Structure 1
């Protein structure tokens, strides 16, 4: 069953200390980067757990690429205009939030390269 987008963003906000539009944007960018990296059938499994409105609009025209966690973090840092360490922590929060909703997800994605490293739970964000 798909996670509700507002629940996913709320979980990301709790883990990162981000709020509103910023938490939403981080969530979207991290999910897009992940979906672009996961091969089938894992990509289909990921799309099944995403909110329907989000899954329908992911830019997935190109085939998944064999990327490492560092490749994904660089993309997230560039897209989010963040330092790599911050982009990594935020990606980990998004992926941990997905796994909170669907605990078996990470094991079923057939993650390429070192992407599994991004599926470890981040430390909670300090209060802002």
Structure 2
């Protein structure tokens, strides 16, 4: 039994030396932060889009003749478009900042939504 343990323990230690984790890789940490930033940004963009859309005079006019279900469907389509397109106008540094700084997140999200909401409204109307 001791001979087996004397052989297995060094073998296991040697194998664990071959195992690596991405947590030690600085580029993996950066990409993880960017992924978190992207997720946080999409959630914030969707919320901001809904608010911005409700404040657009054209939206108020257009939705007067819509049922609640139609309004909800079009709003989902527009804000889905904004959620997909807005992060494309943001740099990787901004994405990392979004994940870490809530105050910067508001400014970055507001800017991204402003840049894309009109294009998405026009696309939804077609």
TM normalised by structure 2 equals 0.31
TM-score normalised by length of structure 1:
0.31
Higher helix share: 2
